[in-house]
Amino acid sequence: MSLSLPPREEMVAAFLSGDASYDGVFFTGVRTTGIFCRPTCTARKPKPENVEFFASARDALFSGYRACLRCKPLAPPGAAPPWVAELMRQVEADPARRWKDADLKRLNLAPDRVRRWFQKQHGMTFHAFARARRLGEAFTEIREGQPVAQTAFAHGYESLSGFNDAFRQMVGTPPRKASGPLVVFSRIVTPLGPMVAGATEEAVCFLEFADRRMFEGQVKRLRSLLNGVMIPGTNALIAQLQDELAAYFEGTLQVFTVPLMSPGTAFQQAVWGQLRTIPYGETTSYGAIAEAMGKASAVRAVAQANGANRLAILLPCHRVIGKDGKLSGYGGGVWRKQRLLDLEQAHRVE
């Protein structure tokens, strides 16, 4: 598969500055060392005339370069290190556990290191993550009919008021008044960087790249529309989505089967319905969508609805381009839009 690269001058500037927004866009081969790196590598920067750029780690390897041991370019962007995977395994094995720094130290983990990683990757500390997971588990039991007080004490809270305050701080309402669906959010690593998926027990309702512009606004809008409780966690649909995304990026899956839910206005729903009709490996324009809806003059409104899509890749807004054939804006970055189109073109069956 042939992948596009930005202009060399742009890549040189991004590499020299360690610009994280280009992680996944290109890899840098250093001729003087025979090593290739991510743009964000913290090793000493070589002279620009001594570097060449590749669109993928595979291309760099085939050109004879070795992977840098510092920035680990062979790992998917945002991949969790082994110690995080083990820590998450223990959290999921006992979601009701109250974690303390002493528990982390017994696992030979420095609390500050754990805090920094979770703050960067999840936007919260590990202790906040574990607390939200514990509250979500308690809320699930309450929704299933368990008494609030009994559930609070079973999950390590010393008082009902303490549990109610913690729940209200996380959700914005006491547990008895939380009437919307429970939405679990999980981080999924992809070749184009980490994504965040959200799902109820019935359908996937959120999938976005973790560094998407207006990410927090999209989550808040979804919470408002569903009146739901949102917590970190996973379920069967998240697992199915993860498997289907892996197959999609491998080029072996063209149609997702995981059930979807995307609340919005009637107009947004109509636009998103049109997105579902765009075949794999093909593109259309905002104007063509407006015409198909019988609203030829609503091109700008179609573009806005396209941008409000909260199910990246699943509702393929990346297949919508400008009338002139040029790529227009994409919440996850235009470079990702190009990579998704390149992927689909390479695996499209005529």
Cα diameter, the chain: 68
Tokens of 307: 């941008």
* Active-site position among 37, 41, 68, 205: 37
Cβ neighbours of 76 (radius 10 Å): 16
CA separation for the pair 257, 247 (Å, rounded) = 12
CB 309 within 8 A of CB 291: no
Rounded Cα gap, residues 115 and 129, in angstroms: 10
Burial of residue 262 (number of CB atoms within 10 Å: 0-12, 13-18, 19+): buried
Q: Is 37 a catalytic residue?
A: yes
Which residue type occupies 126?
Answer: F
Whether the Cβ atoms of residue 111 and residue 105 lie closer than 8 Å to each other = yes
Q: Has 41 been annotated as catalytic? A: no
Q: What are phi and psi of 195, to 5 degrees?
A: -120, 160
Q: Cβ contacts of residue 173 below 8 Å, gap of 6+?
A: none
Cβ(164)–Cβ(174) below 8 Å: yes
Residues 6+ apart with CB under 8 A from 349: none
Q: Which of 68, 71, 205, 317 is catalytic?
A: 317
Any residues with CB less than 8 A from the CB of 169 and at least 6 apart, and which?
none
Among 190, 195, 199, 191, CA closest to 238: 199
Q: In what order do the strands lie in the sheet with 51-54?
A: 51-54, 27-30, 35-37, 66-67
Task: Give me the active site residues, please.
Answer: 37, 317
